[in-house]
Chains A and B, each alone.
Chain A
């Protein structure tokens, strides 16, 4: 049986993403339709001719492997922004990240007053072994000051190949004594699902990306939330998919199935009609007991996130709150090239939500649009221009090229989208228009105003990032 694992991630996920395919899963079948065998042969001959000329006449002896890799890379990049070539290293890195692993130190960090602060070192990781402690301020990374770095930039600098080392300059305690820690990176597991009890009666679940462990992570998170909140008291769930770039298709399907009991979740269509695939919910897998659900999305919610949000919206199972999603409506398949030759990441299908729409280059419009207050220094930088602005993207009729906000305040107390979600689940009516209408409206344009009533929100240590 051919088992095909499809993969939907947008860009290089911050430590994660995608899957790949059992070797031999896809045979290079005779090209259909467009390319006749003669034309294919002619093109391969032309390429061979060029390759030979370079081999023989170039001013230096070329590295043939690099030549072919540059060729494959050029070929794939010309197709669309999500098709690309991964060399052996990049392919290994990707396999690791789809497993929910990456090379890093094992620290949860957050941003506080412009400083990068350690929330906690993860047990049994290089960081905890080196003696990094909760509350430490990371002042420098490999000699570069973290002043002015965003949390993401700092996290990127701390991550890297397993076995490589990084030096952190740590400021500790009230005296802010500076000390260098040289730490060797190791395999760190990404926790792609986190949850906590919100305001005593809501189950808040954040999915940062769709890795191989996401579905199981979600199940255990929901079980834990149910054990913490009595069923009678549980008002509902918030599923936070903001800035989630996507990941594995099968995992997104499982996630939807945890909230619905039947019906189609998504369908994919490749070039040939017989490639069409329909994915439906398995009865009995719904863990949500039909409790109300709010899904948070923004301009950074892409791909697998949009499958989840689109399915739950079409089924009227959830109210979507936030800003328009990214708009990546295509599926990539990873095709290994054998040996140490890396792999193709190739766009092989478009996906369609249960109502049959493609969100490609359009995105999903939330039922209730809520904008966050963006700090002055980030204004204009927090917008995601979306799929429609990517050069060479798959066209899809009337597209939406405008940007969509992708900012989530570090402090949950000022997170307006979260506040609106909580209000919706609490059934809070806002007397003063034009604050967010608590009922899903067909023309979601309202915007939370600063003076809208703000219910008390228990501060929680979100968002943090691990590295």
Chain B
């Protein structure tokens, strides 16, 4: 029995996340009344509906309805969606816009545009609510139907209408689809002597790409003083990859633990000696309201272990783990099966991670008040976590690195200058 766990926010629109997983096959016991009730309703509907209904469609709508009633991250993936999902987790290619999306109360919300994709270049932003695709209202479509409508062959057009911010201004983007190459890690030398690493998502290639980036730094001849790990607008991905990424910066200690419904479903992930690639050099992690899930595992562990200083704004707050449970030829179930806890035993669910230094970006006037990620706590039906839940935060990263205040603060800190903290908030130590 093997199930691959993953921590990703939203369904990748053209992206990533493979998984295999033989199913945890369930034994049938009890619940007969529940199933019998469904059977009764299903058969009555089949027999009496005004037109001949398609039983497969009815059943799918029922399964979607049932999963949607659980929490925002439990979904049904039909055979095609499962294949797409596996393709994207492997980091393979597909034709699309380059958006991470999730369902939000009947509509589709942008979790984040993926770097260097048509969607990012067109100016689609994290938090945008997609209301129309090619003139078709999204209301009433399932997430899958919406994603299908956005995907398509390269060079074809799609028009998406989004609502942004409180004012709900409609904005139409006419975007040309491209083959989306998912490159999970990008790196360069920043500030003369700092190794800057951006992880856009945690797919099967993330750890290998990180290793390659670190090797590139060593080969560059630059004497690297420290690292910046940029997890802003990274919606997450595979749990196993996030654990390896943390291990690349530490030698020992607990990284994360997960707890399911029962005590025997406890699992602890610890660092293995010999995997630390960082030479113990100082490090800064950049987070914002679009950093979710696997990103929060990484930043939470590095913060708790005092390995890194966190700069930016509060993270999204998705503290749950989904498992893909295959259903034979009928696709798979993406089901929330556990919560995860940082090394100090904290669940960040619906709370997020506060950075050590809260540094805000300068948001252009036309985007003010519109680039806030609502965060897990504002999702309809999210798993509850006590009374002090916290909403989202800014999720804007300036396209021009020269104007990137959070990045500049990170470089300054690694150069020994304390970051300029915006007056609007006190640093959380």
Interfacial residues, chain A to chain B (CB-CB below 8 A) = 26, 28-35, 39-40, 43-44, 46-62, 64-68, 70-79, 83, 85, 270-271, 330-331, 333, 335, 337-338, 341, 344, 346-350, 391-392, 394
CB contacts (< 8 Å) of A392 on chain B: these are 140
State in angstroms the CA–CA spacing of A335 and B48 once bound together. 10
State in angstroms the CA–CA spacing of A426 and B330 once bound together. 68
Is B38 a contact of A46 with CB atoms below 8 Å? no
State in angstroms the CA–CA spacing of A71 and B43 once bound together. 14
Which of these, A31, A54, A75, contacts B59 with CB under 8 Å? A75
Which of these, A39, A70, A271, contacts B66 with CB under 8 Å? A70
State in angstroms the CA–CA spacing of A140 and B49 once bound together. 45
Interfacial residues, chain B to chain A (CB-CB below 8 A) = 23-24, 26-28, 30-31, 33-35, 37-59, 61-70, 74, 76, 137, 139-140, 260-261, 320-321, 323, 325, 327, 330, 333, 335-339, 383
State in angstroms the CA–CA spacing of A46 and B63 once bound together. 9
CB contacts (< 8 Å) of B139 on chain A: these are 391
CB contacts (< 8 Å) of B320 on chain A: these are 59
State in angstroms the CA–CA spacing of A348 and B63 once bound together. 23
Say how far B70's CB is from chain A's closest CB, in angstroms.
6
Is B62 a contact of A349 with CB atoms below 8 Å? no
Is B62 a contact of A28 with CB atoms below 8 Å? no
State in angstroms the CA–CA spacing of A338 and B383 once bound together. 32
Which of these, B39, B49, B62, B323, contacts A57 with CB under 8 Å? B323
State in angstroms the CA–CA spacing of A27 and B66 once bound together. 25
Is B336 a contact of A75 with CB atoms below 8 Å? no
Known contacts A44-B42, A52-B26, A67-B69, then 5 further A-B pairs from the complex at CB < 8 Å, ordered by chain A residue: A40-B42, A43-B58, A53-B325, A338-B40, A391-B140
Say how far B36's CB is from chain A's closest CB, in angstroms.
9
Say how far B144's CB is from chain A's closest CB, in angstroms.
13
CB contacts (< 8 Å) of B69 on chain A: these are 66-67, 70
What are 26 pairs between A and B in contact, CB < 8 Å? A29-B47, A32-B52, A34-B46, A34-B54, A43-B56, A43-B58, A46-B330, A57-B325, A57-B337, A59-B260, A59-B321, A65-B34, A67-B70, A68-B34, A68-B37, A70-B68, A70-B69, A72-B41, A75-B45, A79-B58, A85-B41, A271-B49, A271-B50, A344-B45, A391-B139, A391-B140
Q: Which 3 interchain pairs have the tightest Cβ spacing? A: A74-B65, A78-B61, A70-B69
CB contacts (< 8 Å) of A341 on chain B: these are 37
CB-CB nearest in chain A for B48? A348
Of the listed residues A48, A49, A65, the one surrounded by the most CB atoms of chain B closer than 10 A to its CB is: A49
Is B327 a contact of A349 with CB atoms below 8 Å? no
CB contacts (< 8 Å) of A67 on chain B: these are 34, 66, 69-70
Say how far B48's CB is from chain A's closest CB, in angstroms.
5
CB contacts (< 8 Å) of A70 on chain B: these are 65-66, 68-69
Is A74 a contact of B137 with CB atoms below 8 Å? no
Say how far B68's CB is from chain A's closest CB, in angstroms.
7
CB-CB nearest in chain B for A61? B261
Is B336 a contact of A72 with CB atoms below 8 Å? no
Is B44 a contact of A344 with CB atoms below 8 Å? yes
State in angstroms the CA–CA spacing of A75 and B69 once bound together. 13
State in angstroms the CA–CA spacing of A46 and B59 once bound together. 8
Is B383 a contact of A72 with CB atoms below 8 Å? no
Is A26 a contact of B137 with CB atoms below 8 Å? no
Is B330 a contact of A59 with CB atoms below 8 Å? no
Known contacts A34-B55, A67-B34, A57 near B26 by CB under 8 Å: yes
Is B62 a contact of A74 with CB atoms below 8 Å? yes
CB contacts (< 8 Å) of A79 on chain B: these are 45, 49, 53, 58
Is B333 a contact of A53 with CB atoms below 8 Å? yes
Is A75 a contact of B58 with CB atoms below 8 Å? yes
Is A47 a contact of B338 with CB atoms below 8 Å? no
Is A394 a contact of B31 with CB atoms below 8 Å? no
Is A74 a contact of B61 with CB atoms below 8 Å? yes
Known contacts A47-B63, A56-B26, A271 near B52 by CB under 8 Å: yes
Is A347 a contact of B59 with CB atoms below 8 Å? no
Is B47 a contact of A347 with CB atoms below 8 Å? no
CB contacts (< 8 Å) of A271 on chain B: these are 48-52
CB contacts (< 8 Å) of B57 on chain A: these are 78
Which of these, B38, B46, B48, B52, contacts A71 with CB under 8 Å? B38
Known contacts A52-B26, A58-B335, A75 near B51 by CB under 8 Å: no
Is B38 a contact of A59 with CB atoms below 8 Å? no
Say how far A171's CB is from chain B's closest CB, in angstroms.
34
State in angstroms the CA–CA spacing of A60 and B71 once bound together. 11
State in angstroms the CA–CA spacing of A110 and B260 once bound together. 56
CB-CB nearest in chain B for A332? B50
Which of these, B49, B61, B383, contacts A348 with CB under 8 Å? B49
CB contacts (< 8 Å) of A85 on chain B: these are 41
Is A28 a contact of B333 with CB atoms below 8 Å? no
State in angstroms the CA–CA spacing of A457 and B75 once bound together. 61
Of the listed residues B26, B30, B41, the one surrounded by the most CB atoms of chain A closer than 10 A to its CB is: B41
Known contacts A72-B62, A391-B139, A64 near B338 by CB under 8 Å: no
CB contacts (< 8 Å) of A44 on chain B: these are 38-39, 42, 59
Is A68 a contact of B335 with CB atoms below 8 Å? no
Is B56 a contact of A39 with CB atoms below 8 Å? yes
State in angstroms the CA–CA spacing of A71 and B42 once bound together. 10
Is B31 a contact of A64 with CB atoms below 8 Å? yes
Say how far B290's CB is from chain A's closest CB, in angstroms.
24
State in angstroms the CA–CA spacing of A346 and B336 once bound together. 32
State in angstroms the CA–CA spacing of A435 and B43 once bound together. 55
CB contacts (< 8 Å) of A62 on chain B: these are 70
Is B58 a contact of A40 with CB atoms below 8 Å? no
Of the listed residues B50, B261, B320, B335, the one surrounded by the most CB atoms of chain A closer than 10 A to its CB is: B50
Is B46 a contact of A35 with CB atoms below 8 Å? yes
Is A64 a contact of B34 with CB atoms below 8 Å? yes
Which of these, B37, B44, B55, B261, contacts A346 with CB under 8 Å? B44
Of the listed residues A28, A77, A331, A349, the one surrounded by the most CB atoms of chain B closer than 10 A to its CB is: A28
Is A47 a contact of B62 with CB atoms below 8 Å? yes
Say how far A146's CB is from chain B's closest CB, in angstroms.
26
Is A394 a contact of B338 with CB atoms below 8 Å? no
CB-CB nearest in chain B for A330? B50
CB contacts (< 8 Å) of B327 on chain A: these are 46, 49-50
CB contacts (< 8 Å) of B62 on chain A: these are 47, 71-72, 74-75
State in angstroms the CA–CA spacing of A85 and B45 once bound together. 11
Known contacts A40-B46, A53-B333, A77 near B61 by CB under 8 Å: yes
Is B66 a contact of A270 with CB atoms below 8 Å? no
CB contacts (< 8 Å) of B44 on chain A: these are 26, 28, 335, 344, 346
Is A59 a contact of B41 with CB atoms below 8 Å? no
Which of these, A30, A50, A391, contacts B47 with CB under 8 Å? A30
CB contacts (< 8 Å) of A56 on chain B: these are 24, 26-27
Is A349 a contact of B54 with CB atoms below 8 Å? no
Is A26 a contact of B48 with CB atoms below 8 Å? yes
Is B51 a contact of A57 with CB atoms below 8 Å? no
Of the listed residues B55, B62, B330, B336, the one surrounded by the most CB atoms of chain A closer than 10 A to its CB is: B62
Say how far B26's CB is from chain A's closest CB, in angstroms.
4
Is A344 a contact of B41 with CB atoms below 8 Å? yes
